[in-house]
Structure 1
Amino acid sequence: MTPTMARPGGRSAKVTAAVHRAVEELLTDGGSVTVPRVAARAGVNATSVYRRWGDVAALLADTALLRFGTSGDVPDTGTLRGDLRAWGAALAEQAARPAELALLRAAVTAGPADPGAPDGAESARSACLAGRNAQAEALLAAAAARGEDTPTATRVLDHLVAPVYFRALFGLPAPSVDVLVDRLLAQAASSPPG
């Protein structure tokens, strides 16, 4: 008898996508996110959601991981200053959207990964940070390939991403991304990396 191969995607992937979409729709609509409401919106049984995610916090963290945990595309304007400004503006715009902000908050408050998760999977918070770091690294690598001097990815996170997210999380007006980028590049030019 030939062993059955697992189908890539399949029903499980469709259910997961429907549940993630339902979470984002509920957040966008301003509704409360509960497992029964998510299940109803996704067209699945609530027990399936409980079995896969356990509770709303884990569901929000997993949805945040999907949204923020991947590196994604980065701008290519031809200069590091232009790339950082465009990227920072996109981050600020995303963080201002109610659903994005709710997912960002879920990522920030996400607990450690399930110890039984395969390969010691990271928490949503760690994976989201890794995604933003990968984007910063991609911007810096492109700039270095053009012959530009670059700050470290840590400095980009500290001086651009952190202020954008901090202000969004605390309901403060968005920072001037242009000013943040100018300060970052001026500081990087005048001090050693680190």
Structure 2
Amino acid sequence: MKYITLTFLCICSVLIFILFTNEQIATQRYDNGLITYQFSNPNNCVIKISGLVDEDLGYKFSDVLSLFEKKNCKKISLYLNSNGGKLLYSIEIGKTVREKNIETFITDSCDSACGYIFVGGVKRNIQKYRTMGFHQASVDDGRCISMKTAIDSIDRKIIELGYNHIKMMLNDKSSKKWISYEEMTSCKNMLQVGSSELLKDGIVDTVFD
């Protein structure tokens, strides 16, 4: 009996070792949130962002991608849970997402600048009944800015930067719809658009249960 028990414990220990060796999960804090990454095999590399988009997130995101490159990841999935943040860093991350052929997912919140990351996805997925939040851009002094209200060249450059990113990531019809959603409300409010509408607009590719 003791021999059988010892053998059983050894087998369990080996299985646990294999499990933790093959599947690596880690969470790192960045200035305004958390980034979690999971690796089980090259066809299942997952990143989840939870928090506001800032400069530090950009650095941490690049670090995780470098790690995944060493792991020879062939498929990367990015899950987003963010109420927004800085437009510039969202655009930079969104461009990287597209360059690396990353698939994006919304299973929680994705508002404001978060969408500029999401739209970079080579395939964009949203869970049924989830929404995306849209509003006009704002500047550091709290002013809402749009093409109609921009009062100087700097404001216009900020708006053009965002619009050009959307136009690069989406087709003409879908990008126009995105821009119209942003112009529907000020930066003080949030227009929530549902999954079925986003699918019809071509902003998302798939709605899943």
Question: TM-score with structure 1 length normalisation?
Answer: 0.29
Q: Which has the higher strand share?
A: 2
Indicate the structure whose relative CO is greater, using CA pairs within 8 Å and at least 6 residues apart.
Answer: 1
Q: Which has the larger radius of gyration?
A: 2
Question: TM-score with structure 2 length normalisation?
Answer: 0.27
